[in-house]
Amino acid sequence: MFTIRPYFSLLKAGWVLLREGVVTALPKENAPKPVLFAKSVARVVERRRAKDEPQSKILATALTRLGPSWVKLGQFLATRPDLVGDSIAKDLEQLQDRMSPFDTDAAKAMIEATLGAKVEDLFVEISEPIAAASIAQVHKATIVDTEDGTKRERQVAVKVIRPGVRERFNYDLKTFYTAARTLNLLFPAMRRLQLVPSIDELSRVSRLEMDLRLEAAGLTELSDNTKDDPGFRLPAVDWQRTSRDCLTMEWVDGIKMNDMAALKASGHDLKKVANTLNQSFLRHTLRDGFFHADMHPGNLFLAADGDIVAVDMGISGRLGKAERRFLGEILYGFINRDYYRVAEVHIEAGYVPANQDVASFAQALRSVGEPIYGKTAEQISIGNLLSLLFEITELFEMKTQPQLLMLQKTMVVVEGVARKLDPNFNMWTSAGPVVVPHVTRLIGPLGKLDEAVDGLKATSQLMRLAPDMARRAEQLSHEIDAMSRHGVRLDKPTIDAIGKAEARHSRSGRIALWVIAASAAIYVWHTIG
């Protein structure tokens, strides 16, 4: 059903962008007339303080003013440099933990409501918030363990959902969809960027992030997957004090990986840590198909024993067997400079249309891969590399794959953290010991056996469903035959409902047309004047 409400939300967002100096900061070069007009208006209405704000922080400040949902949108767009460009994506990365905390009493009320017990019965004490993000904030607390009949105090981290964040997100989500569909309508070339599916992905990820039981389950699943892996672990979950709106987990003592001075003073081998981080992420991705998708340095700690401890797993990613196979073959192809195979894999996966020339695509991939060989990390520009990849995907009609965007961004973030730990870090060299055995297994006899087993399972399932499918096919045949003889009939309630919906649509459409016409008249008047 058409509604004008999201358009008013877009107007409000536009006003905030004007006031915060975002529009003024847009480049003039090759800008269309509407943008130039907006820039002239922005100079008049923007806040004086916005003029003194560093340009790299202007957009983050504006989104923070718009609220938690917009901050979450900004964080998501930071994973889409193909949409917003490398520079803006980098600016949006500053949105991590920028939200103001909410009142501790409100947090305690949320804890009591979701856990069904008094805070003082659950915790010995609970601190003021120590970190606040768009979805939740974190408190440090003390609990009493009574294992073996002995009482011991232990520190924990308590994550609490923001009050009202779900309702606000659902409201703002309609605005995001409206913006995506409007851009698709006005700029057909943008449809390849899969804007609406990207908002679908944002919606899915955010709804999962707003149920802290799912984050707790993710932590325990990844812990089980990595229990035998060297140098990487996650905090243990306290399920007795965890529910939808509250997550209690082990308190992590360690050095945050954004504190380089402390890391260097710790005496740990940071080159080894960088290698462990990268290889751990690749194992999670290729071996398990389940990975921590928010591994920025603020979410990573270096423990006293040298282990990497990852926290805040509100965002996670999954890859199916087929996607892991293709990803492994693509990485393997780049490592071995087999660009023709990489091109074939893209087409087999459906990422690039089958009508594209494989040899030409392989040649384009060679232009991406060759510059990185024999160079240290500081000589490789990840931003330029990604820009070239996006140009190639557009050239060969490759649609954006929303399910892989999270993986792609996380891979870049992990490499960035590793590079800070070791300036000479090279992701490709580090990846080899993990990727090569994995792909060798996939394309070898064991991989073929796995495919055969999967095929047998699919055949068995199809045979179980065959009787029900036959019954449904027969029923459908009868219904089609009846429609061909008597036509499609609608009952009176259905006809009345269609009439009412059409009337509402017409009224809303007329209002929208008046708003558009008025805006156009103002623009024309300003242009002529």
Chain centroid to Cα 370, Å, comes to 29
State the CB neighbour count (10 A cutoff) for residue 152: 10
Which residues on adjacent β-strands are paired with residue 328? none
Give the CB-side neighbour count of residue 412, counting CA atoms within 13 A.
Answer: 21
Residue type at position 460 = S
Active-site residue identified among 82, 238, 245, 294:
294
Residue 514, SS3?
A: helix
Give the CB-side neighbour count of residue 488, counting CA atoms within 13 A.
Answer: 2
| Residues 161, 413: Cα–Cα separation, whole Å | 26
Active site residue 312: no
Task: State both tokens at 58.
Answer: 């202007």
Helices 165-186 and 195-209: angle between axes, nearest 10 degrees: 170
Phi then psi dihedrals of residue 117, to 5 deg: -150, 160
Phi then psi dihedrals of residue 305, to 5 deg: -85, 5
Which residues on adjacent β-strands are paired with residue 292? 316
| Residues 287, 442: Cα–Cα separation, whole Å | 10
Q: Quick one: which of 51, 5, 8 has its CA closest to 18?
A: 51
Task: State both tokens at 446.
Answer: 């064991």
Concatenated DSSP letters of 96-114: TT-SPPPPHHHHHHHHHHH
Concatenated DSSP letters of 26-56: S--TT--HHHHHHHHHHHHHS-HHHHHS-HH
Q: Quick one: which of 260, 203, 292 has its CA closest to 423?
A: 260
Q: Give the residue numbers annotated as catalytic, written as ranges.
A: 294
